[in-house]
Chains A and B, each alone.
Chain A
């Protein structure tokens, strides 16, 4: 079975085509600058050279149409006919309180995704556009929505509520949702496999450290708490996001700098985090380079970043009543041995030890647990697209059998 996985942004479409017989990726690619006369389609058939094409692509329907043409292209294609695609899986940012797992898309689901637009104003409209665009290109093929928030829906109420007037939860659905759910779910499952243990009884702290960063506490395969909140702004310090702060700072800064709501929003989401503190960059590689050249602010930004991860791990080890495995994933988690070393060095009180030699590795799935460590420490490259493809196949196969 061939499954087509889509991640649609407001002016971009990322795609992967999976052959689910062996879960291999047949092709992947990206369309950028949708809505302009010089949109760029980059298509990479697995094992062959990438192809780049510039064309006038004014909407998502055209974008997906062009991608499909590429997939069956006599030279660059990977399938003979579009009809080989038996299902489409979409990444959808916000499923609100409605979706606890992936679902087959129908009119009702589309409406519910639309209803979640106030909660995900940047992504949900684009995700929905992608769904409609795929539908109009390959009508009749079942589509599945996989939500970034769904995995966290198992959080207990005392973990997801904010200490605000309760009516705000009832009236505006103000609560913790959490994000990167598809990634944390993959990590939780893969960790159990790697440890050769069932999910039941396993306590995992999953650290997704990419451009955005979040931590999830997973017990018995279910999320019990996570660091991102109503929006992806809460929790860890990130590349350009502030993460946790005293909410009163917002009023204080708005008043003294005479900022509008939009400016304050942009300050917290795009000018803070590693970039804001270091003044160098939101990219961890440049921060590490800055530290090497003796930059003081790069150093303090890095120290803050580590410290805040450790605080969350400490908190979640209590919430989980102990921890069996700490897992690092995503861009920084997979590629920064220094960061992992520093985090684990600070977790001595939890009995965490890592093997410095094994830790000296980038982008590979590896157990870096040190001798005598009470906690397993793993590096697991995340694979959200694969989770989307698996969910899609499972739901669609269920249809065919039922």
Chain B
């Protein structure tokens, strides 16, 4: 089956970013959320992202308009009935995800593939909420979707070969590399990046080095585009904490035990870029301004 029409359910940061990327690659996109207000927010979020890329010469005015024109916003889940691929990107809550998948199972044509953008839940388990577990698959996009060139394609226990191949072909047509991963908490990307973020926070808390120096060390030392603390700020510290707790629970490995400093920041409402501060402070456009003195390290000298 050739995938041409794609729906994304859940117009949050991730859903919008996925919609923008798929739309610009020439697919027709339906972006679904519960209320008109949420969709209005989604539209301005996508426009803002396209405007930023336009400012950086990454796209043209015409390309921006074409991409926006391909994305249809709707509050009616029934509108996705004709899509060949539906990606759920609702909040990371397994009951909510199961409910959405089961609704989609009822609405969509029998050959449609249902994908979940979960980074932590078991695809095998989510698939059981539908009557078509062989057509359920994980499709874990990383943020920012338009820049990151890898997608984890997650096989559940019952995912069929046809489903996998169709999705793999779709990922290729987005000019991304699809890596095949099996159903396991955190898959590859989340499982490997979380301990790094956690250790960076521990190092800061213990006064090993300043936030800026920790990030510089890792950026320059290992060629990372951003240091781990800025990376955590950009992912959202609440999201990072939730993932970390989930992995700690599932895998029992102490490298996933959340750093107390992370908890403190989340409790204090400092969630990173989206609230203007986390380990660093950010301006309204999300540019890093300076280290956050509230979490300034004490220094090994004490």
Contact = CB atoms under 8 A, between A and B. Distances in A.
Interface residues on B, range: 10 to 19
B4 A263 contact: no
B130 interface: no
Nearest to B146: A262
A262 B63 CA distance: 14
A58 B4 CA distance: 9
Contacts of A240: 60
Nearest to B58: A263
A123 interface: no
Interface in A240-285: 240, 257, 259-260, 262-264, 266-267, 270-271
Interface in B119-160: 147
In terms of DSSP, what is the predominant structure of the interface of chain B?
loop
B28 interface: yes
B60 A11 contact: no
Interface in B44-66: 53, 56-60
B30 to A, nearest CB: 13
Contact of B60 (A37, A257, A271): A271
Contacts of B60: 240, 266, 270-271
Centre residue among B2, B56, B59, B147 by max chain A CB count within 10 A: B56
Contacts of A260: 58, 147
Contacts, number: 30
Nearest to A282: B60
B26 A263 contact: no
A263 B56 contact: yes
A36 interface: yes
Contact of A35 (B26, B56, B57): B26
B287 to A, nearest CB: 10
B26 A257 contact: no
Contacts of A259: 56-58
Interface in B26-82: 26, 28, 53, 56-60
Centre residue among B4, B53, B57, B60 by max chain A CB count within 10 A: B57
Interface string B1-39: 010100000000000000000000010100000000000
A262 B26 contact: no
Contacts of A257: 56
A11 B26 contact: yes
A266 B4 contact: no
Given A36-B28, A266-B60, 5 more contacts: A11-B26, A36-B4, A58-B4, A267-B57, A271-B60
6 contacts: A35-B4, A259-B57, A259-B58, A263-B53, A266-B59, A267-B57
Interface of B: 2, 4, 26, 28, 53, 56-60, 147
The 6 closest A-B pairs by CB, nearest first: A267-B57, A263-B58, A271-B57, A270-B60, A263-B56, A266-B58
